[in-house]
Structure formats: structure tokens, C-alpha cells
Amino acid sequence: MCGITGFADIRQSKNSYDSKRIIGDMTDILKSRGPDDKGIWIDKEHNICLGHRRLSIIELSNLGKQPMTSHNNRFVIIYNGEIYNFLDIKKELEQENINFLGNSDTEVLIEAFSNWGIKKTLSKISGMFAFAIWDKKNKELTLARDRIGEKPLYYGWSKNSFLFGSELKSIKVHPRFDNTI
């Protein structure tokens, strides 16, 4: 189990509040989901912040650290779950001359997105997962979870901020969170 969280402030001024502190707080509150490591990634130009708490299972080294950037530097991913057929996907990508640095399913997943696109990759993978991936080139944030919804992913808009996380408590930490009905 890992924890993912993040936000996109599409109408927010780039320097109007401390994004690093906010994503740090949102990530810290998920420590019980991933006690082994913490990572954050911020794109100040587009006001996108991603946070990850890691429970190391498959790749114990830093080669499995998240947020993870694709080899071509186009995509950044935070991911929670397990891709059951990642070794088959990895072999298929290696036949297309994709080299891997580590043995994590996260690296296989992001390189599959990078080479095949999100829709094709989603049609090929099998597992339990929730992820957020930022496409730097197209400036698109994509969130997805497995077909059964085994891995949680909460999301919504609050005061011009798109907030998401593995648990609601990470969303509530954001200063723009408003639960008024």
C-alpha cells in the first residue's frame, strides 16, 4: 500500500501561497500508507503538485522512488498498487528497445505510457492501482484507478483547485478545501 495525493490550481497565481509546504503536509498525513519514503514534485509554471508515500515491496532501492519521471522526461507519475503482468509488459517494451534502470512496476508503467499512450497501456495492464500522471508536453493531468476500484482515489474541485488523494484526509489538509454542501 502506498499513498498518493496532489492538486492543480489552474487559476492560482504562481507565488500566492507555499505550494511546497501544502503538498508536503498533504503527503505527510498519508505516512501510514507508506512509511518507507516520501517524495514530492512541483511544476510551479502550471501549478501542479504531486506527493507520494512509499511502501517498498517490489523495488527496494531508490530506483522505485516516486514521483517518477519517464526516461524521455515527458511524464511524471505517482502510483499506488501492483501491476500483476508488469513483467510481461516489461518484456514487450524491451523488445521495442526500451531499457530499464530498475525492477519496479512503476517504471514499467510510466514507460508503457510514454511509448504506447495512456489508453493503450490501460487496456494492456492487469492489477490493482490508482495513479496520477502529468503529461508535461500536453499539459494534461490524468487520474485513473483499476476497474474494480480496489485502490482508493478521491478527487474533486474546491475553490478553483482540483484536489485528489488516496484518502480524504490528505485533501482536507489543502487550505482551499471546503466541504460546504
Which residue numbers are catalytic?
2
Burial class (CB in 10 A: 0-12, 13-18, 19+), 59: middle
Task: Output the CA angle 30-31-32, nearest 5 degrees.
Answer: 90
90 with 101: CB under 8 angstroms? no
**170 phi, psi to nearest 5 deg:** -70, -35
Closest listed residue to residue 59, CA positions, set 24, 95, 109, 94:
109
